[in-house]
Amino acid sequence: MTVTIQGRAKLGRIGGDEFVAVFSDVKFGSCEEILNSFMNQLKSEKFTKQNLNITTSVGLAESRINETVDSLLKKADIALYHSKDQGKNRLTVYTNELQNLNK
């Protein structure tokens, strides 16, 4: 399968069914567009003979100056679980309001 984010992000599995995409030299607003396109592509693909459909829940967070990797991943994780709680197959951008909901 050709992934639309190839060349635009470095991809890696961080555990279980969770993956991380790291974008560099891409405007943050474009990251959301690219990921939505990727999600739509995955949703339209048919996998295996049983026509297995794959959906994706995404948490998107923007790094800040002097932010640690752990802090950025935590923000993305909060946004990811908000996506899952809202019905899956959606993208949520991290905001401070999500942090407050998570407490």
For residues 38 and 72, is the Cβ–Cβ distance under 8 A?
Answer: no
- The answer to whether residue 64 scores a pLDDT higher than 50 is yes
Q: What percent of the chain is modeled with pLDDT above 70?
A: 90
Amino acid 69: pLDDT: 92
Angle at 35 between CA 33 and CA 37, to 5 degrees: 70
Place of tokens 């951008």: 93
Query: How many CB atoms are located within 10 Å of the residue 93 CB?
Result: 20
> What mean pLDDT value characterizes the chain?
84
- In tens, the pLDDT along 3-19 reads 446 577 877 788 888 88
Q: What is the pTM of this model?
A: 0.83
- The answer to whether residue 32 scores a pLDDT higher than 80 is yes
Cα separation of 70 and 35, whole Å?
21
Amino acid 79: pLDDT: 94
Amino acid 4: pLDDT: 41
Cα separation of 34 and 60, whole Å?
11
User: What mean pLDDT is predicted for residues 39-50?
Assistant: 78
- The answer to whether residue 50 scores a pLDDT higher than 80 is no
Q: Where in the chain are the domains? A: 9-101
Output phi, psi for 27, to 5 deg.
-60, 145
Collapsing DSSP states into helix, strand and coil, what is residue 12? strand
- The answer to whether residue 101 scores a pLDDT higher than 80 is no
- For the chain, the straight-line distance linking the first and the last C-alpha, in angstroms and rounded, comes to 39
For residues 94 and 60, is the Cβ–Cβ distance under 8 A?
Answer: yes
Amino acid 2: pLDDT: 34
Fold of 9-101: Alpha-Beta Plaits (3.30.70)
